Amino acid sequence: MMGQLIQLGASILGVLLLGLVCARLKLGEDVRITSEDDARRLAREALCGFEPVDLALDRAGIGALLRDAQGRVMLLRRHGAMFASRLLDSHAFARLDRNFLTIGTGEETFGRITLDLGDKAQVWAGSLRHVGRGSHA
């Protein structure tokens, strides 16, 4: 009986310690892009020298599209508790449905994401047709 109580106590202590480690590492948080400055910071962290001049944020904060002065377009999307990024090229997939723009990179492992860009969705959908062809909108 005493051995079982010790085992139970050790198990409870182990679970509490794991919970503390997860809290300290901020695992399981609901990460969002909260502002344009936040999106710019993430883009700069993802690619040295990428300086956004235009951007559109998803209304829920799960992704963003950013363009630099050279016409390169970066897609930011939530990936677990972090954000992943890709520069879009001529192989990018884009489908517009009112305020929603579904974007894919042509890279299966990155997948597709649907962003709610509001009234900016149509403008960005049109400009993505020129990505990777040397001109931009």
More confidently predicted of 131 and 11: 11
pLDDT, position 135: 44
pLDDT in tens, 21-40: 888 877 777 789 999 999 99
Percent of the chain with pLDDT over 90: 58
Separation CA 49–CA 54 (nearest Å): 15
pLDDT, position 133: 58
| Contacts (Cβ under 8 Å, ≥6 apart) of 71 | 130, 131, 134, 135, 136
pLDDT in tens, 93-137: 889 999 999 998 878 888 899 999 999 999 999 888 877 655 444
